[in-house]
Amino acid sequence: MQKLLLSLVGLCLLSLAPVGNPPKSRRPNPPAPSDEKMVRTIFDEVLLRGTCYENLRVLCKDVGNRLSGSAGAAKAVVWGQKTLDAATAQAGKGGANVFLQEVMVPRWERGAKESCTLEAKGQKSIMLDVLALGGSIATPANGIKAEIIEIHQFKELDSLGEKNIKGKIVFFNRPFSVTDVSAFSAYGGCVNQRVDGASQAAKYGALAVLARSMTHALDRYPHTGVMIYADSAQKIPAAAVSTLSARLIHDAIQAGKRPVANLKLFCRNFPNVPSHNVIAEIRGSELPNEYIVVGGHLDSWDTGEGAHDDGTGVVQSIEVLRILIASGYKPKRTIRAVLFMNEENGAMGAKEYAAQAAAKGEKHYAAIESDRGGFTPRGFAVQDTGAFLRFVQGFRPVLAPYGFTEITTGFGGVDIGPLGASGTHLLGYLPDSQRYFDHHHAQTDVFEAVNKRELELGAGGMAAMVYLLDQYGAR
């Protein structure tokens, strides 16, 4: 249970364990003029002739949201293969390979529009803004109507006990910390109420749970996301409420009005279904059996268009291959772009990719994931505290002119995480985090929320990092 939770919410966690053996660096210090020239060529290519913004428009507007196991996800796989074919066409015959990798994924459907009304003494009934959490069961057809009690920390459940919780709806209302400079740290400080809240409350006889949306924003947009039922607990319905709805519930409770909610969810879980990771590669000229991966996840939640989460990571990863080919770079290692399926509610694509790589004896030197949105570039998080971190920090002089100044210890990403067991060096693309959770898992995560130039600069930095790792990585 804990291992799966860490995998699913890993974007907000840090893994400080060194990965793999320390590399024997061949990196010149200061950077060679040829490196500066190549990185300039990479950024000129994406800023003058970039295709990632238009690719994102098509993914968001023509394909739309794409939850694992849905028709939208199947459509996204077709789009991904077609788009990777186009991006690598310049490589010429035999220069690039695009293929699908089958993976079984969960299928969960939201069903009819959910609803939740709030009734309190002395006031009219209010309709709250709610979204069922991914994986939740449905309520009975006529809903669940019960008094709401407010909880901030799980230890409060222990204090209240079954006599005060049984037969009620538990409202988890722990907000983002406003003093955490990193929005991902703030997310990490409260996301367990969304993921584990239902099972924790069910231990004491709660009928359902409402969880405050995972965002700094104060608005009417509820943010969905995965929740996980513990095997030992009763399954009860779970939904997210917008931050403004959370305020209404809190105020009614604080005023002593003993509010009652009537929650109706219509979601269903089905058996797993087949889907695919979409993969493209440019074969290496010297070390073709050694791989550097760039990737993002093709699936999204079923609200909004999945633009920042993770359409931007997908199109940036595709763009890396296109940039390197268009720039005339002939990689030493094989460079792969992987569009992973099912990061949001199971990470099955990540696990399947790593399992097949291990079964085939593929050596992955490094992997870079983009799954923090398409905002202004800041740098890279390196899942290491030792020699490899220092090695990558040596690239800062050649990357800093393009805004990539932060190269620090941090989490690489959920989808590349399983590769770490084989010694793969893991890096996460690190954009500015302040606006990400305004859109994360909400209907506001749409194409219009992405800035073209920020998106392109991120793709350029990822391509530059791939080039530098390929040139100077240990052999």
Tell me how far apart the alpha carbons of residues 205 and 294 are, in angstroms, rounded to a whole number.
45
Strand partners, 340: 297
DSSP 8-state class, residue 355: H
Contact 52, 470 (CB under 8 A): no
Contact 228, 196 (CB under 8 A): yes
Contact 358, 422 (CB under 8 A): yes
Q: Tokens at residue 398, please?
A: 């050649």
> Cis (ω within 30 of 0) for the bond into 158?
no
Tell me which residue of 183, 56, 67, 79 sits closest to 448, measured CA to CA. 56
343 is known as an active-site residue: yes
Tell me which residue of 379, 365, 470, 474 sits closest to 425, measured CA to CA. 365
Contact 104, 267 (CB under 8 A): no
What residues have CB less than 8 Å from 470, skipping those under 6 apart? Answer: 284, 292, 331, 332, 333, 335
The full DSSP string for 304-336 is: S--IIIIIHHHHHHHHHHHHHHHTT---SEEEE
Marked catalytic residue, from 343, 362, 454, 456: 343
What residues have CB less than 8 Å from 211, skipping those under 6 apart? Answer: 133, 171, 172, 193, 194, 197, 238, 239, 240, 241
Tell me how far apart the alpha carbons of residues 302 and 79 are, in angstroms, rounded to a whole number.
18
What residues have CB less than 8 Å from 12, skipping those under 6 apart? Answer: 184, 185, 187, 188, 191, 411
Tell me how far apart the alpha carbons of residues 64 and 57 are, in angstroms, rounded to a whole number.
10
Q: Tokens at residue 426, please?
A: 């893991």
Tell me how far apart the alpha carbons of residues 338 and 200 are, in angstroms, rounded to a whole number.
36
Q: Name residue 305's amino acid.
A: E
Tell me which residue of 1, 416, 67, 8 sits closest to 188, measured CA to CA. 8
Q: Which residues are catalytic?
A: 343
